[in-house]
């Protein structure tokens, strides 16, 4: 699947990794549905990218407004070919240990990071299955597999997202719809700075470094030898060059 003229929905698209992915997709002539909660930053991103491609900016919360997001995308473009579930919620900061984690905050993190991506997939998947093609990329984290103190809430949500991705891959085997869970690795982003306030992250790569892997996953069929192979493609903070 080449990105030219494909319709891609990218959540968390106003900054960081989501914006870098959107920039690369735009350069490949994909048409974009950019989703983010912060309207000013989203408007700025849309203005930038609309110089290159057709852009629909949807200033909504994927945890609350998935139905409206899906409807807006389908009303504007008639179909969606690619979903990048990038929007994430870090949770309370300073990051609490699990024995002190407020249960209502944990529910919110799980809703945004695991339940909301599945909901958006559920809404957009039928038209992919009808056409027999589509790519869904869920942004994960090594916190979903490694036990980092203080990262329990966020990590649990990413572990859930990864398992959702694996089960969907099994259930959609043979449908033509590909499912990936991608760990982009540690990055120097606003979210990481919130997670570790005061820590110098200047040695970490920016989100523009892993972003090309998302183009690769759309444009290359990477699961030829098994439907789970692609789920581990970038586990090692590996960037596809």
Per-residue model confidence as pLDDT tens digits over 168-218: 999 999 999 999 999 987 755 566 656 666 666 677 667 888 999 999 999
Check if the beta carbon of residue 113 is closer than 8 Å to that of residue 158: yes
CA 14 to chain centroid: 12
Catalytic status, residue 154: yes
Domain ranges of the chain: 7-232
Averaged over 80-103, what is the pLDDT?
Answer: 95
Predicted confidence at residue 195, as pLDDT, reads 62
pLDDT tens for 141-180 read 988 999 999 999 999 999 999 999 999 999 999 999 999 9
CA atoms within 13 A on the CB side of 197: 6
pLDDT digits (tens, 9 = 90+) for 49-73: 999 999 999 999 999 999 999 999 9
pTM: predicted TM-score of the whole model, two decimal places: 0.90
DSSP class per residue in 70-130: HHHHHHHHS---EEEE------SSSPPPGGG--HHHHHHHHIIIIIHHHHHHHHHHHHHHH
Q: What fold, for 7-232?
A: Rossmann fold (3.40.50)
Q: Are 128 and 78 in contact (CB under 8 A)?
A: no
Burial of 66 (0-12, 13-18, 19+ CB in 10 A): buried
Number of Cβ atoms within 10 Å of the Cβ of 192: 16
CB burial of 75-91 (b: ≥16 within 10 Å; e: otherwise) equals: eebeebbbbbbbbbbbb
Residue 217 vs residue 224, higher pLDDT: 217
Q: Phi then psi for 139, rounded to 5 degrees?
A: -85, 120
Pick the catalytic residue from 101, 154, 180, 216.
Answer: 154
């Amino acid at each position: 699947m080449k990105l030219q003229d494909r319709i891609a929905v990218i959540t968390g698209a106003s900054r960081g990794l989501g914006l870098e992915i959107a920039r690369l997709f735009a350069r490949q002539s994909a048409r974009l549905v950019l989703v983010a909660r912060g309207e000013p930053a989203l408007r700025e991103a849309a203005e930038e990218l609309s110089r290159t491609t057709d852009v629909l900016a949807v200033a909504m919360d994927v945890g609350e407004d998935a139905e409206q997001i899906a409807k807006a995308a389908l009303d504007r473009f008639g179909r969606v070919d690619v979903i990048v579930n990038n929007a994430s919620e870090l949770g309370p900061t300073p990051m609490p240990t699990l024995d002190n984690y407020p249960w209502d905050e944990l529910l919110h993190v799980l809703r945004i990071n695991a339940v909301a991506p599945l909901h958006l997939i559920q809404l957009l998947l039928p038209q992919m299955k009808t056409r027999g093609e589509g790519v869904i990329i869920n942004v994960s984290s090594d916190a979903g597999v490694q036990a980092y103190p203080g990262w329990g809430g966020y990590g649990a949500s990413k572990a859930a997202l990864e398992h959702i991705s694996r089960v969907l891959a099994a259930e959609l085997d043979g449908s033509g719809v590909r499912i990936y869970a991608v760990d982009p690795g540690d990055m120097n982003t606003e979210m990481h700075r919130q997670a570790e306030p005061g820590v110098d992250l200047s040695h970490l790569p920016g989100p523009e470094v892993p972003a090309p892997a998302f183009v690769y996953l759309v444009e290359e069929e990477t699961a030829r030898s098994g439907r789970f192979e692609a789920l581990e493609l970038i586990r090692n903070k590996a960037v596809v060059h």
